[in-house]
Each structure stands twice: as structure tokens, then as C-alpha cells.
Structure 1
Amino acid sequence: MNAREIRAPKHGWIPKKERIWVIVAIVIAATFMLWELKGLLQLSSATLHSRQFEHTFKDFGSNARIGLFFVLAYYVLLRVIRLRTLNSLGNVKKWLATLLRFARRWHTPIAIIAIAFIILHAVAVFMHGFKFDFNNLSGLLALLVLLPVPFSGLFRYQRLDRKWHLRSGVAFAVLFLIHSFL
């Protein structure tokens, strides 16, 4: 027998230590989306075009923004901890390493829940009435760039993504920030 035959096959796309939290996040996101979509579909036409409903879909976007800031914090902390100026500050680097481990552990589950809020936000915007203005077009472009991010994240677990997860994530982050703050 050679070494290839002896190796145990890889089980699943998601590492075992993260699998439970990813599954829990998927269940929470799917349940929340179905619940909210059911509620959105039961609204009258007058309610869909009111100012009150505008606050509803903006709240979905605001909740997604909070989650995405946490998701992006992982990359910021990763970049900061690699700075050479922190080598002399041992306590700060240890504290940042602890924050980085926390952000890494919750990066995927929070991202899944944030994507659920983004989908609800997009559906509610289309139900309210999509206008061809800068804000809506930048949001639509950000949504289109977001589509490959979760799939490239799955490839990232297997080291097959060739940095597409990071690249598409950064492109989404830029478009998301433009959509959110301009």
C-alpha cells in the first residue's frame, strides 16, 4: 500500500470543530428568513408603499450592517496583528490574538445570519418599489458581488479558492460601504 491509499478521506466541506455552529447559523438564518418572508407576503399594498415599511427594510439593512462589521473585523484584526510595530507590545498583541480567535470562530456563523438579513433587505426593497437611483443600484451591485463570497468560502475550507473569498469579500465590502454611507 502506498501513502495515498492509507490516508483517510476528508469528511465534509466544513471542518468538524466549526460544523455545529455553521449548521446552527444556517437553521437560525433559514427560520428567520422564512418567518419574515411570510410576514412580508401578508402585507397589503398600501403598507408596502408607506414610510413605515421603508423603516422596516432599512432595519433589515442596519442589522446586516452590524453583522458585516463583525465579519470584516476578522480581516482588520488579522492585518493589525501582523504589524511589526506590535512586536514590542506583548500584552497588546496577546489581547489582539484573543480577539482574533474570537472573530475567527464567529466569522462564518455571523456572516450566514448577516446574509439572511441582506436577502430580506433586498426582497423588501423590491416589494417597496425599486427605483433606479444611486443607492439602489449600488446595493444591487453589492448584492451581485456578494453571491460568490459564500461559495468561495466553502472552497476556502478546502484551500481551493485561490484567494477568491478574500478578493470578492473585499470587493463586496467596498460596494457595501458605498451603499451604506453614500
Structure 2
Amino acid sequence: MSTRENNVQKRKLVPQKERIWIIVALMVSDFMLFWEINGLLQHSLAYLHSEQFEDTMKDFGSIARIALFFVLTYYVLLRLMKLRFLKGQINLKKWLSTLLRFSRRWHTPIAILAIALIILHTVAVFLHGFEFDFDNINGLLALFVLLPVPISGLFRYQRMDKKWHLRSGIAFAILFLIHSFL
């Protein structure tokens, strides 16, 4: 590969084979955000402070949690592939590599959808009434730590992130798990 071809490939923000699914995920998440926020803003104040709305708010968070667990499986599988005891396990390693390819392919599109659900969950929490308790403060901290993750993910495609995507992702995962389960 010549230097010129290498420079052309570096200029692309997202690789060609992943671009279509990322664009589809962005379109679906934009539509979902517009549709749901528009729907949330049309409810009365009495409904926004009801238990039924609290269930809706928690549903956004629960669906985002499932999506984020799928996103995190990429790193778990990547770590499993590097373990020493798998050196002689050819069949298991082939099966894990198949799962790793699948999770890598869907890592970014599912992460985009999960971020949209997190935004919906955050908007719903503020509409319902934000209280300064451990759970909500921890959720806000997780949201602030989440902000650099997609940006560093774009740098990751260019191999310029110096592991910031992984580090900020791990910090987010820890805060997210605390927020979800405590």
C-alpha cells in the first residue's frame, strides 16, 4: 500500500464496512430521541410526577442497561481471548473469536442506540423531578464520564486515542454498574 493510499484511508472517520450500520443507528436514535422527547413534553405535570411515568423513566434505563451489557461484551471477549489457559483450546477459541467478531461488528451501532436511551432516561429523570440522592448523583457522574467515550471512539478508528476510549469506557462502566445496581 502506498503512502498516498494510506493517507486517504486515515482521512476517513469511520471505516467503510462499518459506516452503513453506524449511519442507520444514528438515524434510528435521532428518530427515537425526537419521537420520545416530543411525546414526553406533551404530558401533563400530574402525569410527569406519577408512578406510571416513573416506570416509563426506568424502562428507558433498563433497555439502555441491556444494550450497554452487549456493548461491554466486546471487551470481555477480547480479554478472554488473551487468557493463557485458552492456548490449547482450539474449538473454544474459534467459538470465542466468532462471538468476538459479532460483538465487534455491533459494538458501535448498539452503543449509539444505548446513548440515545441514556439521554431519554436523563430527560425523563429531570422531567419527573431530580432529587439530590446517591443514585441520581451517581447517574449524573456516569453521564459526564460517558461524554468523552464516543468522541474518543472516533479517535479510536484513527488509532489516535492512546487508550482513552477504553479508560473512559471502564470508568463509565464502573459508575454505570453502581448506578444500576445500588
TM-score (norm 2): 0.96
Helix, strand or coil: the match of 1:162?
coil
Q: Percent identity?
A: 67
Match of 1:169 in 2: 169
What's the offset of the Cα at 1:6?
7.0
Structure 1 position 81, deviation (Å) = 0.8
Aligned twin of 1:83: 83
In 2, the alpha carbon distance for the partners of 1:5 and 1:55 equals: 55
Q: Which amino acid aligns with 1:118?
A: I
- Supply the distance in 1 between the matched residues of 2:120 and 2:87 (Cα, whole angstroms): 44
State how many pairs are aligned.
180
Distance 2:153 2:12 in 1: 14
| 1:141-171 CA-partner distances (Å, limit 9, x unpaired) | 0000000000000000001111000000000
Matched residue, 2:93 = 93
Alignment of 1:35-114 (within 5 A): 35-114=35-114
After TM superposition, the runs of 4+ consecutive aligned structure 1 residues lying more than 4 A away are 3-8
| Match of residue 24 from structure 1 | 24
Distance 1:79 1:4 in 2: 33
Structure 1 length as normaliser, TM-score? 0.96
Q: What value does the CA root-mean-square deviation take over the aligned residues?
A: 1.2
Distance in 1 (alpha carbons) for counterparts of 2:135 and 2:60: 15
Give the equivalent residue in structure 2 for 1:140.
140
Deviations 1:9-34 (A, max 9, x none): 23420000100000000000000110
Q: Judging changes above 3 Å, is the alpha-carbon distance between structure 1 residues 104 and 4 closer, same or farther for their aligned structure 2 residues? A: closer
SS class of match (1:124): helix
Three-state SS of the structure 2 residue aligned to 1:9 is helix
Which runs of no fewer than 5 residues in structure 1 stay unpaired? none
Structure 2: 5+ residue runs without aligned partners? none
User: Displacement, 1:127?
Assistant: 0.4
SS of the aligned residue for 2:12 comes to coil
Q: Distance in 2 between matches of 1:81 and 1:66?
A: 23
Determine the C-alpha separation between the residues in 1 that align with 2:53 and 2:108: 30
Partner of 2:152: 152
- 1:94-150 C-alpha deviation (Å, 9 max, x unpaired): 000000000000000000000000000000000000000000000000000000000
Bigger mean CA deviation after superposition, 82-91 or 103-112: 82-91
Shift of 1:5: 5.6
Q: Partner of 1:43: helix, strand, or coil?
A: coil
Partners of 2:112 and 2:172 lie apart in 1 by: 15
